[in-house]
Structure 1
Amino acid sequence: MTAHPLFDISGRTALVTGSSRGIGLALARGLLEAGCRVVLNGRDGERLAKAAAELPGDVHTAVFDVTDGASVAAGIADVEERVGPLDILVNNAGMQLRAPLLEFTDSDWHRILDTNLTSAFLVGREAARGMTERGRGKIINICSLQSEVVRPGIAPYAATKGALKMLTKGMCADWGPHGVQVNGLGPGYIETELTEPLVKDAEFSAWVRGRTPAGRWGRTEDLVGGVLFLASPAADFVGGQVLYVDGGMTSVL
């Protein structure tokens, strides 16, 4: 039995930001396995090269700072000249800073805002210039469970992810008429290098498992199917939505 042609994205060019490790690397691997030509992005060229060497298929790297407008414009132009016009963009670059809100510094506020929200605006805008001209394209913003709910100590992170959800809807409104579908993917609690301290925290892990109908932490590979769907022709009439891949956590009290 072969896959339905609506899910065929072979031969398409995809850029995944923040993809030298963790969720971004897993999504890049999934797109490669689906037959895409994939560009890994990050600020550390050595780390990107190492990640690319471990991946199968047609993989490229692009070193640029997603929080700097001039760097983004030059980076996207270079990718499209060197690799080809972008068909798929996954805005995955992000970070977490945990602190009580009364103790959260101005500099950390701006840092998390730039990394989690401004980067998606900058990279999305540059990628959409070509996509809207060509009349086709898929943009997937990696939102979060915290686009909907929040725990103490992560209010700034939740603010950025809630805003990213609304930026996703705004991009859909502006670019949908030009043939570009913009949607979000909302991971729940996923085991990664960055969440390892939380995974190892017995009390917190017990809370996650008890709070999640699926009864476990998510794995990075759990997110791949959602990205492949949103990047495919199967999602041509899906716009401005966030697909939560959270084991059901957002559905229960």
Structure 2
Amino acid sequence: MTTTVSSTRPSSDAVQAPVPAPLQGATVLVTGGGRGLGATISRRLAVAGARVAITGRNEGALAAWAEQLPNDPVVLAADMADPEAPRALFDRAVEALGSVDVLVNNAGIGHFGASAALTAQDVDALLAVNLRAPLLLAAAAAAHMAGRGGGSVVNITSGLGETGGAGSVLYGASKGGLDAATRALAAEWGPRQVRVNGVRVSLIRTDASAALLDDEAVREGFVSTIPLGRLGTVDDIAEAVLFLAAPASAFITGQILNVDGGTSTTAPAPVAQD
């Protein structure tokens, strides 16, 4: 008898059966946790038993999303472009939650275009949110967690930080830097039982990518590069974050987990030579 296990994950909205609570009693800070991928991550971790604090710039939108989450979530408005915001945000999270057991660095912005058109302002603005903020948050979190016997930091990165791509020099540089920082932080804080890992995301459907993926030719072209033959979903990413946040990954640190349907295992087809 052959058993087939599908690579397609049901939406977390559709799950009805009781599920284990691997984060029961844990406290979690999710940046950018009120919309898109961050909203799905915050919901998944809350359903897994955590009390979550979600951050973003729009306090009203955060509050609306928090009403849909269990376990008395906390709303913390913050602008990650502000150089003082990350450490201040972490202090507020500790004050509101009592402690932070897990940090998910999800907040980020995009920039795509010709490198020749880049300005210093473009570089500074993107690196402030995509690299400086998560580094400062991770450092604050690691020091706090070390004093409590350990914890977990999960950084959301991108395949463009590994492979690059035309038009993605600035965004890719920020995510490649976050990959490197993830490994360095893991080495630094591992002896204090603080784990630092990353989830490397490929193109998935979110509000930000909807217009691109609504183009059938673009969508089918991208899917054709994915060995599992489908686009990833926000639920796929949230499950990976849960794994790295929870005790199930207690002996894993310094790793960047590719959640891309196998895209990172493939290379462009060779061009025939005459």
Q: One fold, TM greater than 0.5?
A: yes
- TM-score when scaled to structure 1? 0.94
The equivalent of 1:154 in structure 2 is 168
Of stretches 147-156 and 160-169 in structure 1, the one that deviates more from structure 2 is 147-156
Q: Which has more helix, going by share of residues?
A: 1
The equivalent of 1:137 in structure 2 is 151
- Cα offset, 1:3, TM superposition: 7.0
Alignment of structure 1 residues 63-82 onto 2, 5 Å? 63-82=77-96
Which letter does structure 2 place at the counterpart of 1:124? A
Using CA pairs below 8 Å that are at least 6 residues apart, which structure has the higher relative contact order? 1
2:240 matches 1:240: no
The equivalent of 2:8 in structure 1 is none
Alpha carbons 1:67, 1:122 under 8 Å: kept: no
Alpha carbons 2:25, 2:49 under 8 Å: kept: yes
Of stretches 176-185 and 219-228 in structure 1, the one that deviates more from structure 2 is 219-228
The equivalent of 1:200 in structure 2 is 214
The equivalent of 1:25 in structure 2 is 39
2:80 matches 1:58: no
Of stretches 32-41 and 200-209 in structure 1, the one that deviates more from structure 2 is 200-209
How far apart in 2 are the matches of 1:246 and 1:11? 30
The equivalent of 2:141 in structure 1 is 127
- TM-score when scaled to structure 2? 0.87
How far apart in 1 are the matches of 2:61 and 2:123? 26
Of stretches 126-135 and 32-41 in structure 1, the one that deviates more from structure 2 is 126-135
Which letter does structure 2 place at the counterpart of 1:145? G
2:192 matches 1:175: no
Check 1:191–1:76 CA distance in 2 against 1; reply closer, same or farther (3 A cut).
Answer: same
Task: Give SS of 2:147's match.
Answer: helix
Check 1:65–1:218 CA distance in 2 against 1; reply closer, same or farther (3 A cut).
Answer: same
- Cα offset, 1:189, TM superposition: 1.1
- Cα offset, 1:2, TM superposition: 8.9
Q: How many residues in Structure 1 have an aligned counterpart in Structure 2?
A: 251
Residue ranges of structure 2 left out of the alignment (5+ in a row): 1-16, 268-274
- Cα offset, 1:140, TM superposition: 0.2
Which letter does structure 2 place at the counterpart of 1:86? V
The ranges of structure 1 where at least 4 consecutive aligned residues each deviate by more than 3 angstroms after the TM superposition are 1-4
Task: Give SS of 1:148's match.
Answer: helix
2:105 matches 1:118: no
Cα RMSD (Å) of the superposition? Answer: 1.7
Alpha carbons 2:102, 2:245 under 8 Å: kept: yes
Which letter does structure 1 place at the counterpart of 2:42? A
2:227 matches 1:216: no
